């Protein structure tokens, strides 16, 4: 695909949602660039249903507050399902929804692209640092 076709496809994709959906588009796309959202989606995709604490153990560096906040946002957007067993002590599990599985599936090509181009990114950073230090 040449650059004009890429631009045409990206315009069609960006214009597919109405102006009132623009906020929705941005908010949902935020998940694709959010380390905690992607980490949770990945963890649930690999392990299946998990409890809050189990997700937290798999997510090095996440605070309890950030984990809770991210899970709520993922649930709100339909990417994660929350199941409260109504037991004492409380038992709640999270699992990927069909939308969450779709996000995970569609992130694989991007992750592969990043891995395939890691050497190019490192070279570009090294070149940038070399020229930036001369300024």
List the domain boundaries for the chain.
Answer: 33-132
Give the pLDDT score at 9: 83
- Residue count (the chain): 135
Read off the pLDDT band of 72 (50, 70, 90).
very high
Mean pLDDT estimate for the chain:
89
Report whether 99 contacts 91 (CB < 8 A). no
Neighbours of 45 (CB within 10 A): 16
Q: Which CATH architecture has domain 33-132?
A: Orthogonal Bundle (1.10)
pTM to 2 decimal places: 0.80
Give the pLDDT score at 23: 75
Give the pLDDT score at 2: 87
- What is the C-alpha R_g of the chain? 19
% of the chain with per-residue pLDDT over 70: 95
Please state, in angstroms and rounded to a whole number, the distance separating the CA atoms of residues 79 and 72: 10
Residue 89, preceding bond cis, omega within 30 degrees?
Answer: yes
Q: What is the dihedral of CA 75, 104, 18, 78, to 10 degrees?
A: -20
% of the chain with per-residue pLDDT over 90: 63
Query: pLDDT tens-digit profile of 35-58?
Result: 899 999 999 999 999 999 999 999
Q: What is the dihedral of CA 59, 64, 65, 71, to 10 degrees?
A: 50
Give the pLDDT score at 19: 65
Residue linked to tokens 């949602």:
17
């Amino acid at each position: 695909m040449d650059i004009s076709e890429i631009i045409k496809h990206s315009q069609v994709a960006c214009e597919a949602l109405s102006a009132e959906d623009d906020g929705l588009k941005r908010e949902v796309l935020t998940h694709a660039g959010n380390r905690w959202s992607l980490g949770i989606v990945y963890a649930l995709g690999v392990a299946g249903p998990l409890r809050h604490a189990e997700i937290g153990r798999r997510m090095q560096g996440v605070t309890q507050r950030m984990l809770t906040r991210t899970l709520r946002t993922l649930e709100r957007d339909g990417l994660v399902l929350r199941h409260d067993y109504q037991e004492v002590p409380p038992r709640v599990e999270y699992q990927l929804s069909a939308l969450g599985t779709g996000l995970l599936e569609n992130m694989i090509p991007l992750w592969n692209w990043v891995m395939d181009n890691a050497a190019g990114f490192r070279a570009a950073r090294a070149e940038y640092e070399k020229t930036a230090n001369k300024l």
